[in-house]
Homo-oligomer: A and B are copies of this chain.
Amino acid sequence: MTKDTGEQRAVDVGRPRWLKGDEVSAWMSMSRVLTLLPPALERQLERDADLNWMEYHTLAMLSEQDDHTMRMSQLAERASASLSRLSHVVKRLETQGFVRREPDLTDGRYTNAILTIAGYRKLVETAPSHVETVRKLVFDVLEPGEMEALKAAFDRIFAAVEAAEPHR
């Protein structure tokens, strides 16, 4: 059905033409990874630490600050997440005792998220197995020089996404 007859018609000719052959197969490889890799990382985190990707990264980002503190809006920006999403995430982390929130003393509009001792311990416990997973699934299978090439391509893709959606 809907075989290409070689003729030209305006619309509805055969199956919709996606991309050129090599593009199709590259896109299939890419979207398979986009579909499978994040859930695989999530499952490892949930299984080993009962944290999801965003929760883990929230702890990680806080731990990178000298005072283990960041404003909600900063955190959202860096995590490429909406403030709403981050607010839900931090609320969950707060009820687990890993983070606490307090208004910024210098400007009450800001809320600071602060990593607790328990949160820091949790992260230190969790990080090694997660890093190991990332290594195993990604870095171990890259060939020399590939990492730099991938990074460059990803940075351009990121820029294109940002350009297409000015302000999330």
Contacts and interface: CB of A to CB of B under 8 A. Distances in A.
B63 A157 contact: no
Which secondary structure characterizes the binding site on chain A?
A: helix
Interface residues of A, number: 68
Identify the interface centre among A127, A149, A158: most chain B CB within 10 Å of its CB.
A158
Contact of A36 (B60, B66, B80, B156): B80
A33 interface: yes
B158 A32 contact: yes
Interface of A: 1, 11-12, 15-19, 22-23, 25-27, 29-30, 32-38, 40, 43, 60, 63-64, 66-68, 79-81, 121, 123-124, 127-128, 131, 133-143, 146-151, 153-162, 164-165
